[in-house]
Amino acid sequence: MAEDLVLDTAIRDWVLIPLSVVMVLIGILRYFVSKLMRSSQVPDPKIVKEGQVIVRARNLRAGANFIPPKSFRSRRVYFNNEENGLLFVPKGQAQNAQAQMFSDPNMAMDMMKKNLSMIIPQTLTFAWVNFFFSGFVAAKIPFPLTQRFRTMLQNGIDLSTVDVSYVSSRSWYFLNLFGLRGLFSLILGEENATDDTQRMMQMSGFGFDPTKSLGAEKDGLDIVQHEWALPKFEHRAEAVLKKLIR
């Protein structure tokens, strides 16, 4: 049977609260540092144009059933025409995003700066937490959990008799690392929120590949089954107007 622990208030005052405050301050500081390190470069007009085309194609797919079939077919041909369609990319013009990154030194430098602005602060913070706060039971979740959460919530504590709802100081660090996006969106704004999960996923990527996005939108438009959601709308409107006039 899992044992219940009585947490000392000093742990709350000297471990839980300082760790949370430091994580928030480091996230805000990292945002401003990455903003200062960001190189000011004019975006490529071709990439901007392709991005706008993708947005227009998505809007067409989302609202396809609210325009007449003839209008939808003409718009689909305008986007997907094999000769001069906006979404059609000839095979010879397809670009490799990895090769594009290595050919552009500014893009590679920006990616390295973003990775450094994330890796260095988090490495130092984890070393600080592991040195000063390792082995502490920092908090208790006010609802029961299954045994599957033990490895996630009790990192650094090798006690199987402790209830799963207790959170170690090291696990509290990881919870703050990946769970503060909502708070950062309130402080910095939704577009400026620091999301470490997305940054970790982007570390292995090589930038935006417009060719794949254009091809995906072209295939999406090709398979759309158009069903007009407003059949005989003009006749119904005419009947309603006649009733009102009478």
pTM of the model: 0.56
- Whole-number pLDDT of residue 8: 83
Contact criterion met (CB below 8 Å) for 77 and 85: yes
pLDDT score of 61: 92
Helices (H), the chain: 9-11, 17-37, 45-62, 69-80, 97-103, 105-132, 150-153, 169-179, 181-188, 196-202, 210-222, 233-245
- Cβ contact 87:216 at 8 Å: no
Beta partners for residue 6, in sequence order? none
Tokens linked to 24: 């928030």
Strand partners, 231: none
pLDDT in tens, the chain (246 residues): 455 777 888 888 888 998 999 999 998 888 888 778 766 666 678 777 888 899 999 999 999 988 888 999 999 999 998 888 888 877 655 555 555 555 566 666 777 777 777 788 888 998 998 888 888 888 888 888 888 888 889 888 877 788 888 999 889 999 998 888 888 888 887 655 555 545 544 444 444 566 778 888 889 999 998 888 777 677 778 888 888 887
How confident is the model at residue 105, as a pLDDT?
A: 64
Phi, psi of 168 (to 5 degrees): -80, 165
Separation between Cα atoms, residue 104 and residue 111, nearest integer Å: 11
